[in-house]
Amino acid sequence: MNKTFQRILLIFFIFIVAPLRAATLAVVYPKTNKTSGAVYQQIIDGIKQEFDGSVILIEVPKKLDRKALAAIAASIEQKKPDMVIALGGRGRKVCRLFKSKIPWVSGASTSRSKGISGITPIADPDVMFAKLKTLSPKVKRIFVVYSKRNKWLIDLAKKSAAGYGLEMLTYPIKDRAAAMILYNKLIKESVKKNDAIWLPHDKKSADPKYALPLLLNAAWERRFVVFSSRLDYVRRGVLFSLLPDNLVTGSQLVKMVQGMHKESTVPGVKTTTVVKLAVNLRTASHLGLVYTTKQKGQFHLTFPTH
């Protein structure tokens, strides 16, 4: 190997290879219980698999005032990471204090704020409707009650529904009381056997204490479909839900923040397109829905579990 070639290799390593290896990524995530913690750990595993560099993990305690949040943000800035991924609500709170100093994206949070980019665990409506037509092919109309925070999702859903021959009937509400009045009216006057009600992630329109029991009882009696963006509702009796593939989410978050770092882009919030399917087989049987062995092989989770 001659000296000229050695110099070329040295220059290549110093200016191209070395900077890539030296890149650092901080992951800010909340300290939480075992169930939620498993989700964060899976996303972190996906991040580590995708990111070719140093990953710094910062765990955020449960109870923090603004001063404590600012201290954590300052300590992260001192570490000088090239990029940051914020997981959960507490991760977002810390990273919002960066302003525009460090490129960062949000994951594992259903919140959507102007100027923040990330991937929400909420399934993309197009994927959701494709699963609905597979699991309950006779459904033609979807009723959804929603609050202002989910208008963006409903707008996406309206665009997707037509492609699956579905009619979307949407009802904005301001509070839980209005939602309950509307559900009672819809159940009595509008929702028929081959219709479906979609319960999005929405504290006002789809709360577990009042709205869910009302709708599950009515659906069992009248034999219409209820599906949800929340996995825990499948355990309670809705037909199905979609949950994100957390490893893939971690990988996607890395690619998104790298794009922001290199190109100074602001991609906004994206829905989840790589999902796992959870199905309540008892509910399906009650509705007269029969699935093949092949279909069942595509179910990631089934309920009841015994």
Q: How many domains does the chain have?
A: 2
Supply 295's token pair.
Answer: 């279909």
pTM: predicted TM-score of the whole model, two decimal places: 0.90
What CATH number does residue 174 fall under? 3.40.50.2300
Supply 28's token pair.
Answer: 């800010």
Residue-range definition of the domain harbouring residue 82: 3-121+246-274
Q: What is the pLDDT of residue 9?
A: 57
Do 88 and 205 sit in the same domain of this protein? no
- Residue with more model confidence, 7 or 30: 30
Q: What is the pLDDT of residue 131?
A: 98
pLDDT-based confidence at residue 285 (cuts at 50, 70, 90): very high
Do 290 and 177 sit in the same domain of this protein? yes
pLDDT in tens, 54-95: 999 999 999 889 999 999 999 999 999 999 999 999 999 999
Do 161 and 284 sit in the same domain of this protein? yes
Q: What is the pLDDT of residue 64?
A: 87
The mean predicted confidence, pLDDT, of the chain is 93
Q: What is the pLDDT of residue 265?
A: 84
Do 84 and 138 sit in the same domain of this protein? no
pLDDT in tens, 125-171: 999 999 999 999 999 999 999 999 999 999 999 999 999 999 999 99
Instruction: Look at residue 2 and tell me whether its pLDDT is greater than 80.
Output: no
Instruction: Look at residue 5 and tell me whether its pLDDT is greater than 80.
Output: no
Do 162 and 286 sit in the same domain of this protein? yes
Supply 120's token pair.
Answer: 């929400």
Beta strands in 208-248 (DSSP E): 225-228, 240-244
Do 64 and 44 sit in the same domain of this protein? yes
Average pLDDT of span 276-299 = 98
The DSSP line for 62-126 is S---HHHHHHHHHHHHHH--SEEEEEHHHHHHHHGGGTTSS-EEEES-----TT--EEEEEEPHH
